[in-house]
């Protein structure tokens, strides 16, 4: 009997493959539901990715396609090109963006970090190149012309910057001997200087907002938060003093009679005409008068043709995207993933808020696209890259695969 007891005590026990119920949220986040016989890469991806976020992206892309069909032909007529010029180009940009999102969402946290660092170096080089060889449009050099295509490198810099600063701050907070806060601050200052040299004040604000959010999530003290708020306020005052176009937009926002407010007047008229239910698909008139109806003011097109209902639906979809990403990443115990997703969701949220608030005259006008809705290849690829990294970092993974 003693021999049997010793053998029972020394025999290896089979480890459970699923964490027990007492493991809580953290344990649940490490479970991957894979159906029997569906162990392919795509199968594992499908059962581990957040399908609510995929549904939101699909809805936004579908709504964007309808609005581009409405706003694209009048915009093409204004520059004397083929009627469906912008519609056809957007139908190319959308599959490319979705392919980028899918490919990036397959990556592990380590893969996201490596891609972010390497991609950021390349995008930063392109951003610097705009100051040397970039063509000038409306007093700004924000674009590069490559093989007949126009690229705006800052759209790619934003999501990649969020990943790099998340890596630096996480490395500094986990005691790896990296001065993460100081390095991330220097990096933010360098990229902001390049953006202001273009100049692009709105993109700079988004970039600084990403960094401030990540620093706060990393556990910055209240004193530092207050200091950063004061520095940010000083930066806004400095931008007002340094850039005449910023002064002009602020003055026109505070006093509409002080300058040309044609675009914002047309935008507000569109929302008035749209009312609760809109004038109907294709019946809007603002798209014929607004030069940027297919890009910066596409929210006004939505308000006129489909009314308040579609506008509120768009707000709700962006809110669901942010909330789902936040709740999914909070279930993990990976500081890098939390900081990266925090920065990426702030980027998408700020971009959407700035676009919609500008169209509603709630803030000075700022040329910024509405994610997944507005026309533009660089914008589509940039927001798809950001969403793909969010999906990758919020996927449900076993413990070993989740390590950065």
Neighbours of 193 (CB within 10 A): 10
For residue 144, give the DSSP letter. Answer: E
Whether 137 is covered by a domain: the verdict is yes
Neighbours of 241 (CB within 10 A): 10
Whether 236 is covered by a domain: the verdict is yes
Q: Report the alpha-carbon distance of residue 99 to residue 105 in Å, rounded.
A: 10
- Contact between 247 and 240 under an 8 Å Cβ cutoff? The reply is yes
Local mean pLDDT, 10-residue blocks, the chain (404 residues) = 42 40 40 56 90 97 96 91 94 96 96 96 94 83 83 94 96 80 92 91 91 88 74 75 76 73 89 93 88 92 96 97 94 90 96 94 87 95 97 80 48
- Contact between 210 and 154 under an 8 Å Cβ cutoff? The reply is no
pLDDT at 10: 41
Q: Report the alpha-carbon distance of residue 47 to residue 67 in Å, rounded.
A: 32
Triad 379, 384, 387: Cα angle to 5°: 130
- Contact between 93 and 324 under an 8 Å Cβ cutoff? The reply is no
Provide the 3-class DSSP secondary structure of residue 50.
coil
pLDDT at 74: 93
Whether 403 is covered by a domain: the verdict is no
pLDDT at 398: 63
Cite the DSSP H helix spans in 79-145.
85-105, 109-133
pLDDT at 202: 87
Q: Report the alpha-carbon distance of residue 341 to residue 76 in Å, rounded.
A: 37
Q: Report the alpha-carbon distance of residue 173 to residue 165 in Å, rounded.
A: 12
Only one residue has tokens 């950001």, namely: 386
Residue 80 Rama label (left phi>0; alpha psi -120 to 50; beta): left
Whether 48 is covered by a domain: the verdict is yes
Residue 294, domain extent: 41-393
pLDDT at 178: 79
Whether 29 is covered by a domain: the verdict is no
pLDDT at 329: 92
According to DSSP, the residues that pair with 150 across neighbouring strands are 145
**How many domains is the chain built from?**
1
User: In which element (H, E) is residue 149 found?
Assistant: strand 149-151
- Contact between 339 and 169 under an 8 Å Cβ cutoff? The reply is yes
Neighbours of 29 (CB within 10 A): 23
Whether 300 is covered by a domain: the verdict is yes
pTM: 0.87
Whether 400 is covered by a domain: the verdict is no
Q: Report the alpha-carbon distance of residue 358 to residue 261 in Å, rounded.
A: 12
Q: Give the DSSP letter string of 35-78.
A: -TT--SHHHHHHHHS-HHHHHHHHHHHHHHHHHHHHHHHHHHHH
pLDDT at 39: 67
Dihedral sign for Cα 20, 24, 27, 29, please. Answer: positive
Q: How far is CA 87 from the centre of its chain?
A: 23
Whether 13 is covered by a domain: the verdict is no
- Contact between 391 and 107 under an 8 Å Cβ cutoff? The reply is no
């Amino acid at each position: 009997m003693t021999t049997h007891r010793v053998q029972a005590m020394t025999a290896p026990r089979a480890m459970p493959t699923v964490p027990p119920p007492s493991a809580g949220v953290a344990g649940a986040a490490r479970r991957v539901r894979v159906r029997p016989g569906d162990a392919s890469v795509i199968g594992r991806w499908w059962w581990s990715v957040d399908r609510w976020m995929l549904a939101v992206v699909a809805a936004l892309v579908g709504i964007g396609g309808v609005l581009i069909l409405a706003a694209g032909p009048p915009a093409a007529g204004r520059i004397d090109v083929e009627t469906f010029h912008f519609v056809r180009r957007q139908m190319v940009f959308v599959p490319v963006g979705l392919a980028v999102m899918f490919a990036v969402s397959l990556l592990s946290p380590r893969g996201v970090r490596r891609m972010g660092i390497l991609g950021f170096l390349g995008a930063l080089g392109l951003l610097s190149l705009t100051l040397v060889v970039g063509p000038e449009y409306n007093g700004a050099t924000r674009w590069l012309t490559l093989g007949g295509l126009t690229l705006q490198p800052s759209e790619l810099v934003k999501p990649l910057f969020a990943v790099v600063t998340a890596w630096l701050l996480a490395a500094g907070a986990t005691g790896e001997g990296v001065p993460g806060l100081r390095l991330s601050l220097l990096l933010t200052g360098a990229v902001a200087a390049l953006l202001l040299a273009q100049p692009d004040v709105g993109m700079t604000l988004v970039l600084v907002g990403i960094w401030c959010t990540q620093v706060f999530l990393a556990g910055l003290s209240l004193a530092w938060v207050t200091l950063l708020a004061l520095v940010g306020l000083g930066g806004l005052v400095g931008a007002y003093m340094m850039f005449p176009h910023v002064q002009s937009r602020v003055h026109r926002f505070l006093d509409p009679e002080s300058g040309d407010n044609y675009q914002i007047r047309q935008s507000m008229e569109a929302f008035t005409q749209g009312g609760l239910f809109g004038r109907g698909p294709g019946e809007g008139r603002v798209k014929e008068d607004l030069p940027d109806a297919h890009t910066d003011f596409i929210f006004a097109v939505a308000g006129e043709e489909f009314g308040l209902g579609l506008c509120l639906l768009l707000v709700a979809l962006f809110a669901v995207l942010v909330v789902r990403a936040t709740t999914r990443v909070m279930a993990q115990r990976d500081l890098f993933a939390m900081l990266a997703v925090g920065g990426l969701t702030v980027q998408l949220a700020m971009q959407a808020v700035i676009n919609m608030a500008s169209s509603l005259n709630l803030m000075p006008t700022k040329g910024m696209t509405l994610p997944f809705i507005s026309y533009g290849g660089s914008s589509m690829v940039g927001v798809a890259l950001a969403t793909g990294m969010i999906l990758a970092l919020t996927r449900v993974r076993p413990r070993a695969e989740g390590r950065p």
